[in-house]
Structure 1
Amino acid sequence: MVVAAAAAFSPVLIGDAYAFKLFGITIFGKEEDEGQQVPDPVRYHVDLKADTADPDLKEALENSSRLVSDQKQPVSGDLGIVVKARDDRERLIATLYEKARYGGVVTITVDGKNIDDLPPNPTFDRSGPVPVTVDIAPGPVFKVREVQFGGDAANHNPADYDLAPGAEAGSLAIIKAGDKIVEQLKSEGRPFAKLTERKVVADHKSDTVDIVLAAEGGPIAPIGDVGVSGEKTVKPAFIQRYSRLNKGEAYSPEALKKAGERLRALGVFSSVTIHEGDALAPDGTLPMTIEVSEGKQRYFGVGAQYSTTDGFGVQGYWGHRNLFGEAETLRIEGSVSRLGETTDIGSLDYSAGILFTKPGAFFPAATLKAGIVAKTENPDAYNATLVTASLGLSYELTDRDTVSASGELSWERDDDAFGTNDYLTFTLPLQYDRDARDDKFNPTEGYRATFSVKPGYEIFNATPYAAFEGSISGYLPFGQEDGLVLAGKVAAGVLIGGGGIENIPATQRFFAGGGGSVRGYSYQEISPYNDNGDPTGGRSYVTGSLEARIKITDTIGIVPFIDVGTVSDSTFPGFSDIRAGAGAGIRYATPFGPLRLDFAMPLNKYEGGTDYGIYAGIGQSF
């Protein structure tokens, strides 16, 4: 198998393999020679000269130049260089306008001749790369002198659109101002709002710009009949109901955007497009059509993760996305973990489950979830075998706020510091989640806060108890294009009731340590210990993490971090034994989230405890 894998993936062993790609990303090897795909290939060398001391402007010009970015790729024929150069001049002038440089001049020569003086079919010396020179005189920065808003935008304040007198008059700011005016008018329920005039006059004597923007709002019209097209097996009535675009409600571009996102998130559609009517219906409403394209309903997948403290883990699953015509999902999954961390097959962690989800249950914003999961857990602190059945409902209060409630019945057998014990528990988890992050997979700003209450009753010992947990994470960007993001997270929990801690199942006690907690320590290594040195789990905990996510390139970043945590056997968290881990990680940006590789060491390790940890995964750590 090793030889077969090497032969399949190594470009050294297979001469015809140019590169290995994963999800469109070249992992190793080189792409095929572009020159072999271009007829009459001609290579060139470009020298871009920008007469400016502004590093941001120079970088913007270099980034917009296709001559610069594509100079390793040949063009087709001598005329191909000229065409590319003329296109580049337009792009560079547009970049100068974006930077409020309306007096800039771009001069491009090919083989020493200005492109405006070349014949229709030029010929160049191809004995080497054809020399191309780009000379840019940016000119002065133009400022806003006067702004006139007309029509339904007449009373708007130019300062609200970054166009106050004296501000830089960049073309993008002017375009964005017009778009913002139209967007604001549409948000007032005017679906036919449009920009009627956009005029920009630059005065090269005073280096100023006069701007005229006028807009027409059109009639206020509520949402009308909402039709559905393109569906095959998903019921159109469900699509309309789940979109939450209801006839008679106020028209809103944001509501249309959220409706599309909501339908795509179901996973049953490969595309969703909402078409607005070109005219109002006789009753004064705006008709709409939701056009969908259904994707494959059955799916399967596999996954894996690794850390030096927890070993390898593999998962597999099969699912159906549309059981009964309303995007109900059935998912069967299984996993094995701690591979390599132990050689005892009986000490591996196993999990198998069947999960059912029904979106739009009872209410469009509600989701019903049911499942049964059987698994074993064998961390250093305990060995547990358990079966849990659950039934719950979540409800979206807003786009950011979700509440959920469920009932869980669980049987569990533990072998831990208190011996071998059986538990039968019934719990009622309640949770509130506010997610104000800008991106769930790679957030750069915003925050997320959660709070949960989990009252429970252990039936065998007639023991009531309750767990309270909360967490908050925040993100603060700095620099251009969020080159630095400070990310922090704090979490805490308290377990009350239950008599002695031994009356509560081990999986419901508090531990810390591992990839999702305090890195550098092994999974659940942070815990109170009894006189024999056995971990018992605690009644309270506090953990915190701080990361500096630094972007090195568009795809590569480094992340120094520090994690701290403590677990106490008292109801109120104690801080007499705080454990900390520190390290650094590498991030590689992909279309499906950043690939993460972290290395951490405990700053105050346990005697005989873990020396370091390496963690790999997809997505940021929090």
Structure 2
Amino acid sequence: MLSPGAESSGVPHGRRVRRGLASVSAMILALALTPNPAAAFEIFGITLIGSNEEDAAPVVDPLTYSVDLDTGDAGAELDGRLRAASTLLADADRPVSGSLGLLSKARTERELLVAALYEAGRYDGTVEITIAGRALDDLAPDAEFTGEPVPVRVAVTAGQVFRLGRIDVGGDTGDIAPARFGLMPGGDAGSTVILNAEAKMVRALRDKGHPLARVTGREIVADHKTGLLDVTMVLEAGPVAPFGATRVEGTEKVDRDFTAYMAGIEPGATYSPDQLEAARERLLELEVFDSVAVNEADALDADGSLPVDVTVSERKHRYFGVGATFSNTEGAGVEGYWGHRNLFGRAEKLRVEGSISRIGDTTQFGKLDYRAGLLFEKPGVIGPPSKFVARLDATFEHPDAFDRFSVKGSTGLRYELTDTQTVSAEIALDYSRIDDSFGSNEHLIASTPIQYVFDNRDNRLDPKSGFRLLAYVEPAHDILNSTSFVKIKGEASAYRALDEAKRFVAAGRVAAGSIFGAPLAAIPADRRFYAGGGGSVRGYGYQDIGPRNAAGMPTGGLSYVEMSAEMRIQVTDSFGIVPFIDAGAVSASTTPDFANLQVGAGLGVRYLTPFGPLRVDVGVPLNRRPGDPTFGIYAGIGQSF
């Protein structure tokens, strides 16, 4: 759905940074309150209260050992693989449970290293292990070792690199060609290459509606004289089958029939694994389940259809939290919210929220920023891909460009056309009283915002591939002032990894918009375009780019354009740096004036977490004007775009 307040800025997600000073935003800490005081409390992987160490069971009859892993002439790459696969090396500082534990670990070690050799196409490689000078195969099951640490030696002979020889795929394969899946004479013979090709062949058959497709036979022959690996496999496609009934288990307070309905798997439709994956994602997006599993049955029903089994685990439906922010230029802020994820039993969401900010930045209660909101969402109103949304918001705010009191109500619908395409539309009525550089005015605006989004990014918070396109149009009429106008915006961002490990990612973004139908003074200040600040042109103050009045305060404009480019570099598994450059312009006319383009550049750091990167960016204005800050600091969760 269109986010409330999105019409007030070219960069609706940016944080405010007042002119002339840098600002650091404190992260909001949302507390999910549960009756479990003995548990440790963590944030971003750091234990703040209690201990995160599990009470490990003591090792019975502990025995220490030392290990010498000799990979011979394996080469650097294979040596690294072997050492990464070795559990004897990884656990060398942990005692095993007696001599039996050491024997068991050594046997597992050999299996793991042989598997690593096979993955590298080394099918005549060998792994010899000795414990206390005795070969592993010569040791009795009840052998005893003394003299800690017990010396363990692992000697690996890598052998030759095999290539694929004859490839024969038989059975009911249709038009499945092995070469399409990486199996061809002279190709890589690594075991994972063969297994992955098998899995892809089976998936290709399943994609054609064969849910019972499987590999029924496999023969692998390594010719040590020629260094070739011959592969023979037999595939069984099985029948093309339609979906049957959707069976749901695990629901408690969420309606079971509604859960099956929201899975969106239509009985009689041809089986597709993509439909199962889409059903799981759709059910998770309801936010009422902790876990969701969607699987086809193991066998067809008597009528030839394939039942679908959905297993869910519900999460707590009521929640509330508090948060706080702090800025050395904007003062402190507090916020709180209460919500229910399953109001009437069909994943209806109700959320009440409020916030107060600029505490300490001003001593006048009337100059604090206040926000309050009420949100209601109901999924599945015209099919599983749809969601009805209604909002009521009240705002009293004082950015640099204007002072505004507003009450806005909106209702609308969001619909997923495909996995990557979403459209949304709403009807909104917004009363506001605004004081800005053009005077004091009241507005009552009726509008119908419509938005289309194409998004095939691999990750919303830290994308490494794909792109996102947004198109937005909002016809509006000011009832009190008899003014009509149309606001349009467009945005595109693209992401591409430059290396196989995806540690170097190039990202770019361009956005533009215009307002037609009325002069600048007739457009309410919160509907005009602004630029500058985090998520826009970093290094400049929030809303500070663009036209200004005689007092030097921003007035906003009728058009804007923004451009950003970043090189996201992952230095370690948990740390990255991001050099960036941003540019933007705001014009009082309906066409952006590139002569007034402001450019900022800087460097960001990223702390990578499982739920997304934590971001801190430092930007400086490259063509700084009088009154602009010398630098800006911005913090947030997720990448800047």
2:588 aligned residue (544, 569, 584): 569
User: Whose RCO is larger (CA < 8 A, sep 6+)?
Assistant: 2
After alignment, is 429-438 or 68-77 more displaced? 68-77
Aligned to 1:525: 544
Report matched runs for 1:191-590 at 5 Å: 191-304=211-324, 313-339=333-359, 344-499=364-519, 501-590=520-609
Q: Which moved more, 1:113-122 or 1:192-201?
A: 113-122
Q: 1:341 to 1:124 in 2, by over 3 A?
A: farther
Distance 1:216 1:550 in 2: 45
Pairing 1:115–2:136 present: yes
Instruction: State the SS of the aligned residue for 2:557.
Output: coil
Q: Structure 1's 415 and 249: CA in aligned 2 closer, same or farther, altered over 3 A?
A: same
Deviation at 1:282, TM superposition (A): 3.0
Q: Per the alignment, do residues 104 and 340 of structure 1 end up closer, same or farther by CA in structure 2, a change over 3 Å counting?
A: farther
- Of residues 396-405 and 285-294 in structure 1, the stretch that sits farther from structure 2 once superposed is 285-294
Distance 1:111 1:414, change over 3 A: farther
Give the aligned residue type for 1:51: G
> How far 1:390 moved relative to its partner?
0.5
Q: Which moved more, 1:545-554 or 1:34-43?
A: 34-43
**Deviation digits for residues 156-213 of structure 1, max 9, x if unmatched?**
3222111111111111111111111111111111111111112211111111111112
Q: Tell me the CA shift for residue 275 of structure 1.
A: 4.0
For 1:140, the equivalent position in structure 2 comes to 160
1:35–1:41 contact (8 Å) kept in structure 2? no
Specify the SS of the correspondent of 2:116.
helix
Pair 385,37 (structure 1): closer, same or farther in 2 beyond 3 Å: farther
Match of 2:615 in 1: 596
Residue 125 of structure 2 is aligned to residue 104 of structure 1: yes
Across the aligned residues of Structure 1 and Structure 2, the Cα RMSD in angstroms comes to 2.6
Q: CA deviation at 1:245?
A: 0.7
Comparing 79-88 with 236-245, greater Cα deviation is found at 79-88
Supply the AA of the counterpart residue of 1:80. G
Q: Distance in 2 between matches of 1:169 and 1:509?
A: 61
CA distance in 2, matches of 1:509, 1:52: 68
Read off the aligned partner of 1:563 and give its amino acid letter. Answer: D
Q: Is the 8 A contact 1:431 1:451 kept in 2?
A: yes
Distance 1:132-1:395 versus aligned 2 partners, 3 A rule = same
Q: 1:33 to 1:540 in 2, by over 3 A?
A: closer
Post-superposition Cα deviations, 1:463-512, rounded to whole Å, max 9, x if no partner, equal 1111111111111012232121111111111111222x121121111111
1:309/1:522 contact within 8 Å kept: no
1:572–1:29 distance in 2 versus 1, CA, 3 Å:
same
Aligned residues of 1:310 and 1:522 also touching (Cα < 8 A):
no
- For residue 346 of structure 1, report the CA deviation from its aligned partner: 3.7
Equivalences for residues 68-87 of structure 1 within 5 A: 68-87=89-108
Shift of 1:107: 3.0
Which range is displaced more, 164-173 or 289-298? 289-298
Partner of 1:11: none
Aligned-pair CA distance for 1:39: 3.5
Cα offsets for 1:227-269 (capped at 9, x unmatched):
3233222222222221111111111111011101111110112
- TM-score, normalising length from structure 1? 0.90
Question: Could you say which residue in structure 1 is the equivalent of 2:179?
Answer: 159
How far, CA to CA, are the matches of 1:260 and 1:57 in structure 2? Answer: 39
Shift of 1:333: 1.2
Could you tell me which amino acid in structure 1 is paired with residue 542 of structure 2?
Y
Q: Does 2:638 match 1:619?
A: yes
Equivalent position amino acid for 1:100 in 2: G
> How far does residue 399 in structure 1 lie from its aligned partner after superposition?
0.9
The alpha carbon displacement at 1:343 in A equals: 5.5
The Cα of 1:616 is off from its aligned counterpart by 2.1
**Equivalent residue letter for 1:513:** G
Structure 2 gap ranges (5+): 1-37
Higher mean displacement: 338-347 or 503-512: 338-347
Shift of residue 303 of structure 1?
4.1
Q: Is the 8 A contact 2:132 2:145 kept in 1?
A: no
Change (3 A) 1:33 1:576: same
The 3 A distance-change label for structure 1 pair 224 and 154 is closer
User: Does the C-alpha gap of structure 1 residues 293 and 148 become closer, same or farther in structure 2, counting only changes over 3 Å?
Assistant: same
Deviation, structure 1 residue 431: 0.3
Q: Distance in 2 between matches of 1:464 and 1:512?
A: 24
8 A contact 1:243–1:260 mirrored in 2:
yes
Number of aligned residues: 603
Q: State the percentage of identical aligned residues.
A: 49
Query: Structure 2 length as normaliser, TM-score?
Result: 0.88
In 2, Cα distance between equivalents of 1:131 and 1:33: 30
